[in-house]
């Protein structure tokens, strides 16, 4: 994944992401080459269904999915794959906890799955991952008629993917069908070192970067991810009365910026435009949101969005979001080591409900010393081991 160009920024709390290094990433980001593979199949844009699936006779992705053994590896060679229908990894085609089935970019190459042939429809997703214990690695999924990647299975790892220019949320977790019981809602999925941007739905009010909403189970984690320039929110953890509470979600060491405005400047008044939207319909869910950055989103940076639960909101920094950097009107959330800064724009004072102490610095019309200690331009990239590297003024702030 290529580094993004720097964007204008005036401050960040140094050390917000200082714990990016360490064993957490090492445990979560083992390279797919290390996976136990009962079978290896190769896919290329020119492959055919009946081909053997060797390097010299590559097959197609849909054929490889139907043939791969549990714990095996499918390698996608570089190039553009053009699709007009959803690629589904079906329920029951599972790997195991000790040997995930892997769908990976061939080392050193960049496969792009382009679904622009699809019409705009809720049934026209790009990749639909309904199986358990899979590992998706190094893919770009774009221009789908709905979500770029939809995860309905559990215990999956989605790593170093890009979802862009899709006609609903780039990467979303949710139940496989309306008949799926809550006990089988997707759980324990890890979305790591991934990027989602420029997703736009026809109404301009649904396409987020990442979402775990409506019908998701427990244990889902987003780590070292970047969501930017989506028409709606960077992250959406929305709940509604019809389906009830979702399981608590963890978002950590991640970056959300520019949401509500596409890269080309397109905006839509219907979009919510938050960095991190954490609820809905007054349903309490105790999410964990820590070591994250919200920068210049079109509404709030971090918002409870009517979630009255006891969320853990810690070690976050929120800068120059249009309305509030932190917006928590009710609830019993616990805030620690959070920093709110304003430099380039005016905005409303933060609203906090719950437990806060002197480690927090919220916006009340003035900058504090920690806000004014750092200046420069913000940039980011993913390191070779999967960590999100954030720089300010050319200096790395998360060694």
Task: Tell me what percent of the residues of the chain surpass a pLDDT of 70.
Answer: 87
Active-site residue numbers?
A: 277
H helices present in 212-321, as ranges: none
Per residue in 208-239, pLDDT tens? 999 999 999 999 999 999 999 999 999 999 99
> How is the chain split into domains, by residue range?
4-396
Q: What are phi and psi of 388, to 5 degrees?
A: -85, 120
What confidence score (pLDDT) does residue 28 get?
42
What confidence score (pLDDT) does residue 344 get?
75
User: Which residues fall within 8 angstroms of residue 120, CB to CB, at 6 or more apart?
Assistant: 145, 146, 167, 201, 202
On the question of pLDDT at 138 being above 50, the answer is yes
Of 44-58, 65-79, 260-274, 335-349, the one with minimum mean pLDDT is 335-349
- Given pLDDT bands bounded at 50, 70 and 90, which one contains residue 261? very high
Determine the straight-line distance between the first and last CA of the chain, rounded to whole angstroms. 20
Average of per-residue pLDDT across 19-40: 43
What confidence score (pLDDT) does residue 366 get?
80
CATH classification for the domain delimited by 4-396, as one of 1.10.1670.10, 3.40.1410.10, 2.40.160.20, 2.160.20.10: 2.160.20.10
Average of per-residue pLDDT across 143-166: 98
Per the CB < 8 A criterion, the answer to whether 99 and 135 are in contact is no
pTM as predicted: 0.91
Name the β-bridge partners of 141: 113, 163
On the question of pLDDT at 23 being above 90, the answer is no
The span from the CA of 23 to the CA of 171, in Å, is 26
Residue for token digits 């806000």? Answer: 371
Q: Is 276 exposed, middle or buried (0-12, 13-18, 19+ CB in 10 A)?
A: buried
Per the CB < 8 A criterion, the answer to whether 258 and 393 are in contact is no
Average of per-residue pLDDT across 113-120: 98
Structure-token pair, residue 147: 């979500």
What confidence score (pLDDT) does residue 19 get?
39
Average of per-residue pLDDT across 8-25: 38
Average of per-residue pLDDT across 149-171: 98
Average of per-residue pLDDT across 135-142: 98
What confidence score (pLDDT) does residue 345 get?
75
| Helices (H) then strands (E): counts for the chain | 2, 35
On the question of pLDDT at 349 being above 50, the answer is yes
What confidence score (pLDDT) does residue 396 get?
75
Residue for token digits 């789908």? Answer: 144
On the question of pLDDT at 288 being above 80, the answer is yes
The span from the CA of 20 to the CA of 254, in Å, is 10
What confidence score (pLDDT) does residue 31 get?
41
The span from the CA of 16 to the CA of 360, in Å, is 12
Residue 55's nearest CA partner among 72, 42, 73, 71 is: 42
């Amino acid at each position: 994944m290529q580094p993004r160009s720097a964007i204008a920024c005036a401050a960040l709390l140094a050390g917000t992401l200082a714990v990016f290094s360490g064993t957490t990433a090492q445990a979560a980001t083992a390279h797919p080459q290390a996976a136990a593979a009962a079978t290896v199949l190769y896919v290329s844009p020119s492959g055919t269904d009946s081909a053997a699936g060797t390097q010299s006779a590559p097959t197609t992705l849909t054929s490889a999915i139907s043939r791969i053994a549990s714990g095996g590896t499918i390698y996608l060679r570089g190039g553009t794959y053009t699709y007009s229908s959803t690629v589904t990894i079906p329920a029951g085609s599972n790997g195991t906890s000790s040997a995930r089935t892997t769908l990976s970019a061939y080392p050193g190459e960049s496969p792009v799955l382009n679904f622009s042939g699809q019409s705009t429809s809720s049934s026209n997703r790009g990749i639909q991952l309904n199986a358990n214990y899979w590992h998706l690695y190094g893919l770009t999924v774009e221009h789908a008629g709905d979500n770029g990647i939809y995860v309905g299975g559990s215990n999956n790892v989605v790593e170093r993917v890009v979802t862009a220019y899709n006609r609903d949320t780039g990467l979303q977790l949710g139940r496989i069908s309306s008949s799926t019981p809550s006990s089988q809602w997707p759980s324990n999925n890890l979305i790591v070192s991934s990027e989602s941007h420029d997703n736009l739905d026809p109404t301009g009010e649904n396409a987020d970067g990442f979402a775990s909403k409506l019908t998701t189970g427990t244990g889902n984690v987003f780590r070292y991810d970047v969501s930017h320039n989506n028409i709606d929110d960077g992250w959406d953890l929305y709940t509604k009365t019809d389906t009830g509470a979702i399981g608590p979600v963890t978002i950590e060491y991640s970056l959300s910026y520019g949401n509500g405005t596409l890269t080309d400047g397109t905006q839509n008044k219907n979009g919510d435009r938050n960095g991190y939207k954490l609820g809905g319909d007054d349903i309490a869910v105790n999410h964990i949101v820590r070591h994250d950055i919200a920068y210049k989103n079109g509404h709030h940076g971090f918002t409870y969005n009517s979630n009255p639960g006891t969320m853990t909101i810690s070690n976050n920094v929120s800068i120059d979001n249009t309305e509030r950097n932190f917006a928590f009107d009710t609830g019993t959330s616990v805030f620690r080591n959070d920093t709110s800064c304003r430099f380039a724009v005016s905005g409303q004072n933060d609203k906090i409900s719950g437990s806060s102490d002197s480690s927090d610095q919220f916006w009340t019309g003035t900058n504090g010393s920690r806000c004014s200690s750092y200046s420069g331009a913000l940039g980011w990239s993913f390191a070779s081991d999967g960590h999100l590297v954030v720089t300010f003024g050319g200096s790395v702030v998360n060694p």
